[in-house]
Amino acid sequence: MKSLSVTQLTRFALIPLSLGIAAPTSGCAAAGPSSEPAATPLPAKAGELVIQSPPGTPRPPFAFSEDDSRFLDEVQRGCFRYFWEAVDPVTGMIPDRSSVDFVSVAGVGFQLSAIPIGVERGWITRAQGEERCLKILRALLGNPGNRHEGLFLHFIDGATAGGRKNTPEDVVSTIDSALLFAGVLTAGAYFGGEVDRLATQMVTDANWRAFVSGDEAKPHERGFITLGWRAKDAHDLSKGGRYLPYYWVDSGCEHRLVSFMGVLSPKPEHRVDSAMYYRLRRAVGDYKGTGPMIWFPYSGALFVNLFSHFWINYNAMGVDNPHAAGFANRPRVDWWENSRRLVALHRLKARENPENKPTLGEHAWGLTAMDVAKGYAVPGVYPTLITFPDQREAFDYSTYSGKDDYGDGSIAPYGPGSAIMFEPAAAVAAMRFAREQKVPDGSPMVWRDPANPAPGNYGFRDSYNLGTGWVAPDYVAIDQGPLILAIENARTGLIWRTFHSHPLVRQAGERLGWPPAKP
């Protein structure tokens, strides 16, 4: 990837997000193009850069037309039916995907967050939701063989909630634990009582400090949280394991969520230094006027720019201030706006489609982690790196050059659908486009109508390819979850409001100097 220095871009004009792309017609009240400020050159130093929205930029919750609201009801109902119906009968937990019986704890985090949505939309009663959450939490806490230092194996047995062999990996995962804890805290805040007592116990037990790197890491990686701990035997964690030599050092969404959970711990001996959150590297990039933006160099998948937003309400925070934490060479960022620009990057590159891949185009965009005909893929696209004289290689930005990967032309509806928190009209249009695709006999290609009470009608299958006619056979928990949560936040802000109401979340925000959550 070509890198540009700031001295080569002194005439850089900030032209955010109109991109010359006409907004698809979807009936969304927020469909109009964003207003554009006067051309603004980049500052001389990274620490002087401020990434923020142009005045008048629409923010969620958005107003949707009656027709779009009915459509979004259908999409959310399909996701919810999967999380409610396709569960293990013993533990109540959702399998990682519809074709297996083991569980991803990240998927359970999404499941626990989806249950309040089901209550609020009248699909289940509050008592039913509370009962299901208690069943899940008791199962997780009741089997000590599923965690190390209070953090959980990525994959566990659906019936016992314990470690098991023959899963994709034998790792106690920091990101998957963080996603689980986000759901646990959402359920705790919503239901209170015994649900919250168990939620607080689980989060309190997590010793994040045990996962922080020391002298074994490279100098620029020291003091950050490792990706995980690999067990010698996932069925028996007492046999020991080793911490992975890979660390959350950049400011991707997953990095910030992991670091936030480390800051959140109510036990000082388990908690990480809040400065870690602001020390995360902030590489600056741009592509044809979509930037400047902060981006993750090792994956250009859309999901890496979305996941923290399902719970953390960056939309209400405005521009952050790493300078107050002692990091004067970090740009100040409104992370909601930053992700909006990365969504624009994905839309633009899908329209350009330089490799002429099938499917990709105006209403089929958002390359992300998904099922493909040959298995599983994580395609993605990148901006161009911009460097500043006050930044140090490795310590402030990565020198790794990722290359655009357009995959095989498959698209997962949850990708653009989850971007509804940033670009509602384009996201709705992309979901409608996917739902309208047909197979030769005229039946839906990707969509399974959740109004049909038969098992397996959970809305969108995971992914599709218009070039080959292939459709993923599975529903995937960590893809259904983002879709239902993102839509709800775009419509009502329910998950943001609930998550931020938890005392532990508020306390962590205070440690980070975040403004109080707005109602």
Q: What is the mean pLDDT of residues 178-203?
A: 98
Q: What are the tens digits of pLDDT across the range 134-146?
A: 999 999 999 999 9
What is the predicted pLDDT for the residue at 332?
98
74 falls within a domain: yes
238 falls within a domain: yes
Token output for 116: 């309040």
Model confidence band, residue 68 (pLDDT cutoffs 50, 70, 90): very high
Q: What are the tens digits of pLDDT across the range 269-286?
A: 999 999 999 999 999 999
Alpha-carbon gap, residue 123 to 337, rounded angstroms: 33
259 falls within a domain: yes
Tell the burial category of 247 from Cβ atoms under 10 Å away from its Cβ (0-12, 13-18, 19+): buried
518 falls within a domain: no
User: Between vectors from CA 485 to CA 479 and to CA 491, what angle results, nearest 5°?
Assistant: 135
- The residue count for the chain: 519
Tell the burial category of 384 from Cβ atoms under 10 Å away from its Cβ (0-12, 13-18, 19+): middle
468 falls within a domain: yes
Q: What is the DSSP letter of 220?
A: G
The mean pLDDT value of the chain amounts to: 92
Token output for 277: 């959150």
How many domains does the chain divide into? 1
514 falls within a domain: no
DSSP assignment of 222-249, as one string?
TTSBBSEEEES-TT-GGG-EEE-S-B--
Cross-strand bridge partners of residue 464: 411, 471
- The answer to whether 180 and 108 have CB atoms below 8 angstroms apart is yes
Task: Provide the residue range defining the domain that includes 496.
Answer: 3-29+37-503
Model confidence band, residue 35 (pLDDT cutoffs 50, 70, 90): very low
Asked if the model's pLDDT at residue 61 lies above 60, the reply is yes
Model confidence band, residue 378 (pLDDT cutoffs 50, 70, 90): very high
3-class secondary structure, 207? coil
The residues near 107 (Cβ < 8 Å, ≥ 6 apart) are 94, 95, 96, 476, 477, 478, 481
**What phi and psi values does residue 354 have, to the nearest 5 degrees?**
-65, -20
508 falls within a domain: no
Residue 445 belongs to a domain with what CATH number? 1.50.10.140
Give this prediction's pTM: 0.93
Sign of CA dihedral 193, 196, 201, 204: negative
Torsion-angle region of 32 (φ positive above 0: left; ψ -120 to 50: alpha; else: beta): beta
